[in-house]
Amino acid sequence: MKAPIGDPMVQGFADRLESVYAAAEGSAGFFARSVRNYQTWEHSWGPLIAPRCTPAGVGLSELAMTLSVWHDLESVAAFAYRGLHGEALSMRADWFRRGPWPGHVAWWIEGDHRPNWGEAVMRLDQLHERGPAPDAFTFRKAFNFSGSQIRMSSGPVTPAR
């Protein structure tokens, strides 16, 4: 973010957190998420870790990171770009620095595996360093569970050509 939580510059973002989290939890395809304690800034899925691609001088209180598990890519993409989250995303330039680092990373997990922040940061850094691959990708260049590249669309996911 452009400033830590509590700073008036990012208050519009902070004011939307609870409603956006509630919208995620009520969305089709949502499974679980790391829950943030707003007093300590700690998460339930382990301590927050800064990715290597974080700009120098940016502290953990300036990282707006969410870790969630969804049943499928279409559901999380629909949530990300529509509704309350989509509205907030359209205002991201007001609250967030722009840079060459990835804004999100996706990967497939097995059964009841619950990712932690160490795993998430490792995958975000992999994406930043080498680009999308089956183990760390984006909605723009996505892969299915088997590792084949697919194309996201407003409908079902289709094989990439």
pLDDT tens column, 74-128: 999 999 999 999 999 999 999 999 888 999 999 999 988 999 999 999 999 999 9
Report the amino acid identity of residue 138: T
Q: What is the pLDDT of residue 156?
A: 43
- Distance in Å from the first CA to the final CA of the chain: 36
The pTM (predicted TM-score) of the whole model is 0.88
pLDDT tens column, 128-157: 999 999 999 999 999 999 999 999 875 444
User: Above 60 in pLDDT, residue 25?
Assistant: yes
Helix (H) or strand (E) holding 31: strand 30-33
Return the domain boundaries, the chain.
Answer: 8-159
Structure letter (DSSP) for residue 21: H
Nearest to 144, CA basis, from 154, 126, 132, 128 = 132
Q: What is the pLDDT of residue 126?
A: 98
User: Above 70 in pLDDT, residue 158?
Assistant: no
Q: What is the pLDDT of residue 152?
A: 82
Q: What is the pLDDT of residue 130?
A: 97
Q: What is the pLDDT of residue 5?
A: 85
Helix, strand, coil content of the chain in percent (nearest 5): 35, 10, 55
User: Above 60 in pLDDT, residue 46?
Assistant: yes
User: Above 90 in pLDDT, residue 30?
Assistant: yes
Q: What is the pLDDT of residue 159?
A: 47
Instruction: Give the three-class secondary structure for 143.
Output: strand
**Measured CA angle at 114 (ends 159, 65), to 5 deg:** 80
Q: What is the pLDDT of residue 60?
A: 85
